[in-house]
Amino acid sequence: MAHAVTPSTAPNSGPTPVAYEQALARYEPVLGLETHIELGTASKMFCSCPTAFGARPNTQVCPVCLALPGSLPVVNRKAVESAIRLGLALDCSIAPWGRFARKNYFYPDMPKNYQISQYDEPICVDGHLDVTVDTPEGPRVFRVDIERVHMEEDTGKTSHVGGATGRIHGADYSIVDYNRAGIPLLEIVTKPITGTGELAPLVARAYAAELRDLARSLGISDVRMEEGSMRVDVNVSVNEHGADEWGTRSETKNVNSLRSVERAVRSEIERQAGVLDAGHRVVQETRHFQENTGRSISGRSKEEAQDYRYFPDPDLVPVAPRGSGSRSCAPRCPNCPRPSAPACGPSGTSPTPNCATSSTPTPSTWSRRPSPRARRPPRRASCG
Ligand SMILES: [Zn+2]
């Protein structure tokens, strides 16, 4: 996601990266993956504009997604259902009640000057996804813990024209297409992934592949990474073996292929090892992965959550999924896609009708005021 540009003081020609094996001999990597998935809904997150990819620029816009004065957003029910479906498949708890929040920042492709997102009340929390990595000793399974899945809207798309790199530096002018502004997104955030050692790049790739396949088989997105409907932000830090604290992390933004996810992790471990070996400190920043070099370049210094001045969006009623505290069979139906379930049907299998209509939480309750009962902490939805 694009944010306010703050010039970074970090040089792009830093210390020489350390060879991967040498880096792993001295340092332990810690990963964190934030994945944006564009949902395949017919209309946008908060208005009825179509979402078709490839339309003529600025033809799929309206007063709501252009944030014209007086326009009011309305939540897309299908998008909420998609979030719940993914959350259940990741074995998350589904929040019984939650609000959208405004994430405040300025960027030309974000016409509101804020993004509608979720902050402290995400719709899904505390799940996991098991991924398998092939090693010389045989397949090895890693459990990747999911911190949260939250709903938000995509930004528009800015193109920088006239420069050699397509980036703003050196461009003659920039043009903005708002067709993408307001398309529903899910952001899936992992907890820190530790203990992967030299397999870190493969674990990151396997996670992205598993999540992509899961979203596709649930039918919630086409997850075409080459078209940007799934993008991965790769957080990496390294610390010396046995250290009490993790190192400073960098965040490589919008990596858009499985191969690049793997390469981005690997190159960042090598780069950070080189920085530390040279006696410098790793700078907390965003970085941009370069396909042609296999390396990343410095972006901007990384904002903290408080920089965005989140507050509840007063234009939107809270979402209160009905049945989130009830027993839901959805994740365990034999034909439902679900991580680490051999009984699951093949990729592309849809949930059974029984599953979809029984006690799966649905966003059918739109509440203006939470009842005391609804404000209880989320409970795990399972067949347990
Ligand atoms: Zn619109």
pLDDT tens, residue by residue, 150-192: 999 999 999 999 887 777 888 999 999 999 999 999 999 999 9
> From the CA of 67, how far away is ligand 1's center (Å)?
9
Query: What spacing in Å lies between the alpha carbon of 235 and ligand 1's midpoint?
Result: 32
The mean pLDDT value for 138-146 works out to 97
Q: How many Å lie between the centroid of ligand 1 and the Cα of residue 70?
A: 13
Mean pLDDT (whole number) for 370-377:
40
The total number of structural domains that make up the chain:
1
- What amino acid occupies position 142? F
Q: Does pLDDT of 62 surpass 70?
A: yes
Could you give the angle at the alpha carbon of 162 between the alpha carbons of 160 and 164, nearest 5°?
A: 90
pLDDT attached to residue 17: 95
Is the residue at 13 inside a domain? Answer: no
Rounded to the nearest whole angstrom, what is the distance from the C-alpha of residue 60 to the centroid of ligand 1?
A: 7
Is 6 inside a domain boundary?
A: no
Residue 59 belongs to a domain: yes
Cβ–Cβ under 8 Å, residues 196 and 29: yes
> Using H for helix, E for strand and C for coil, what is the string for the chain?
CCCCCCECCCCCCCCCCCCHHHHHHHEEEEEEEEEEEECCCCECCCCCCECCCCCCCCCCCCCCCCCCCCCCCCCCHHHHHHHHHHHHHCCCEECCCECCEEEECCCCCCCCCEEEECCCCCCEEEEEEEEEEEECCEEEEEEEEEEEEEEEECCCEEEEECCCCCCCCCCCEEEEECCCCCCEEEEEEECCECCCHHHHHHHHHHHHHHHHHHHHHHCCCCCCHHHCCEEEEEEEEEEECCCCCCCCCEEEEEECCHHHHHHHHHHHHHHHHHHHHCCCCCCCEEEEEECCCCEEEEEEECCCHHHHCCEECCCCCCEEEECCCCCCCHHHCCCCCCCCCCCCCCCCCCCCHHHHHCCCCEEEEECCCCCCCCCCCCCECCCC
Instruction: Give me ligand 1 centre to Cα 65, in Å.
Output: 4
Distance from the alpha carbon of residue 66 to the mean position of ligand 1, in angstroms: 7
Residue 238 confidence (pLDDT) above 80: yes
* C-alpha 46 to ligand 1 mean position (Å): 7
C-alpha distances in angstroms, 261 versus 6, 186, 191, 216?
A: 25, 19, 17, 19
**The domain containing residue 256 runs over which residues?**
20-366
Q: Which of 4-18, 144-158, 308-322, 350-364 has the lowest mean pLDDT?
A: 350-364
> How big is the chain by its Cα radius of gyration, in Å?
21
Span 310-317, average pLDDT: 95
CA 45 to ligand 1 centroid distance, Å: 9
Residue 49 CA to ligand 1 center (angstroms) comes to 4
Please answer whether residues 378 and 96 qualify as being in contact, where contact means their C-beta atoms are separated by less than 8 angstroms.
yes
In a domain, 379, yes or no: no
CA 72 / ligand 1 centre spacing (Å): 10
User: 178 CA distance to ligand 1 centroid (A)?
Assistant: 9
**Ligand 1 centroid – CA 303 distance (Å):** 29
Quick one: how far is CA 46 from the chain centroid? 19
User: What's the confidence (pLDDT) of residue 8?
Assistant: 38
Quick check: 41 pLDDT over 70?
A: yes
Contact by Cβ (8 Å): 46, 62: no
Backbone angles phi, psi at 193, to 5 degrees: -105, 110
Tokens of 286: 């965003």
With a cut of 80, say whether residue 357 has pLDDT above it.
no
Cα 59 to middle of ligand 1, angstroms = 10
Question: pLDDT band at 306, cuts 50/70/90?
Answer: confident
Distance 285 CA to ligand 1 centre (A): 33
292: pLDDT confidence band, cut at 50, 70 and 90? confident
- Say if residues 83 and 124 touch (Cβ distance below 8 Å): yes
Asked if the structure places residue 378 within a domain, the reply is no
Q: What angle do CA 372, 375, 380 make, to 5 degrees?
A: 130
pLDDT at residue number 6: 39
Q: How far is the CA of 101 from the centre of ligand 1 (A)?
A: 19
Other beta carbons within 10 Å of 383:
11
Residues 264 and 255 sit within 8 Å (Cβ to Cβ): yes
Q: Compute the mean pLDDT over every residue in the chain, rounded to the nearest whole number.
A: 84
| 79 alpha carbon – ligand 1 mean position (Å) | 15
Exposed, middle or buried by CB within 10 Å (0-12, 13-18, 19+), for 300? middle
CA 35 to ligand 1 center in whole angstroms: 24
Would you state the pLDDT for residue 381? 35
324 phi/psi in degrees, rounded to 5: -70, -25
- Distance in Å, CA 158 to ligand 1 centroid: 18
Residue 106 lies in a domain: yes
Distance (Å) from CA 104 to ligand 1 centroid: 20
Q: Which of the pair, 276 or 323, is modelled with greater confidence?
A: 276
56 C-alpha to ligand 1 centroid (Å): 15
CB burial class (10 A; 0-12, 13-18, 19+) of residue 322?
middle
pLDDT tens for residues 113-129?
A: 999 999 999 999 999 99
CA of 43 from ligand 1 middle (Å) equals: 8
Tell me how far the alpha carbon of residue 343 lies from the centroid of ligand 1, in angstroms.
41
Is residue 10 included in any domain, yes or no? no
pLDDT for 338 equals 52
Let me know if residue 349 belongs to a domain.
yes
